[in-house]
Amino acid sequence: MPGDIKVKKRAESKNRTLFVIKNRAINSVPDFVEAFTTRIGGVSSPPYGSLNLGTTTGDRRTNVKRNNKIAAGALGFKRIITANQVHGNRVMEINAKTAAKACDEHADALVTAEKSVMIGVKTADCAGIIIADPVNRAVAAVHAGWRGMANKVAGKTVEFMKKRFKSDPKKLIASISPAIGPCCFIIGRPLYARLKKEADFKNIFSIKKKKIYMDMRKGIRNTLARAGLKLANIHTSGFCTSCDEGLFFSYRRDNKETGRMAAVVGIKQSSAEKTRRKG
């Protein structure tokens, strides 16, 4: 699990512990905060127990809202801004004008250069991809299941950052979240036939006992590399969401009735900026 750090965070009250997985490279950038939440540390009841961040699940909205506050607060932010994910490739910039309406917008990638704003994407087998630009001080959170991988939403986000923030892909750092792994992700022959024709996806399949397994994170990694990121700057978590029921929600394993984790990132105000504001 290159770059993974499992971290315990005290959240909301002394008797609640939030478990998150963080990437060393992104979190070492001054004032950058990145994390992948797990199912541990929230207030929801089964089958959403307990840190469910999915607003489109059958969980109570009050629980989801409280879980959002718990996770954001433990990481030093007020709330996590998310959009309405549709397995597409639209990229949306979050700023003072767009933050309030993000939850009503169809977007599978959020980008921001705003301070004190935490953006995120919701996952439960799909991958969450965090992209950080330490030079131009901008970040992105990207949602990609197999459709998002096939639509190359990660590459489109890099292109957006190049145009909007003048990001140099060679300087970007990416972190791919826990997701359903090649040990568990079985796909059908029509999808296999469609994807194997593309250069980014030729090497992501294995066939065992007539079943086709797909390494979705490897496909995303290939797309990021083709978009110009250095392989050394693309970090991939080794956790499989389907295998580890104690840590993760899984859409496939749990037969669709389950919660959502989140891949989140934000830029805090620096100490100097806080001092200037007080002055």
pLDDT tens digits, 82-117: 999 999 999 999 998 899 889 889 999 999 999 999
Q: Is the pLDDT of residue 30 over 90?
A: yes
Read out DSSP for 202-257? Answer: TTSEEEETTEEEE-HHHHHHHHHHHTT--GGGEEE---BTTT-TTT---TTTTTT-
Q: What is the helix, strand, coil percentage profile of the chain, to 5? A: 30, 30, 45
- 179 pairs with which residues across the strands? 240
**What pLDDT is attached to residue 275?**
59
For residue 168, the 8-state DSSP code is: -
Taking 70 as the threshold, does the pLDDT of residue 156 lie above it?
Answer: yes
Q: Which two tokens stand for residue 114?
A: 């705003």
What is the side-by-side order of every strand in the sheet holding 4-10?
Answer: 4-10, 17-23, 32-37, 261-267, 117-123, 80-81
Give CB contacts under 8 A, 24+ apart, made by 251-258: 251/124, 251/125, 251/126, 252/125, 252/180, 252/184, 253/125, 253/184, 254/47, 254/124, 257/47, 257/58, 258/47, 258/48, 258/57, 258/124
> Are the C-beta atoms of 119 and 100 separated by less than 8 Å?
no
Q: Does residue 210 contact residue 217 with C-beta atoms inside 8 Å? A: no
Judge whether residue 16 has pLDDT over 90: no
The CATH superfamily holding the domain 4-180+236-278 is CNF1/YfiH-like putative cysteine hydrolases (3.60.140.10)
pLDDT tens by residue, 178-237:
999 999 999 999 999 999 999 999 999 999 999 999 999 999 999 999 999 999 999 999
The pTM (predicted TM-score) of the whole model is: 0.94
Please give the torsion angle defined by the CA atoms of residues 148, 154, 155 and 159, in that order, rounded to the nearest 10 degrees: 120
The band of 13, judged by pLDDT with boundaries at 50, 70 and 90, is low
pLDDT at 245 over 80: yes
Q: Which tokens belong to 235?
A: 């970090």
Look over the chain and give the mean of its residue pLDDT values, rounded to a whole number. 94
Name which of 176, 173, 159 is nearest 232 in CA terms.
173
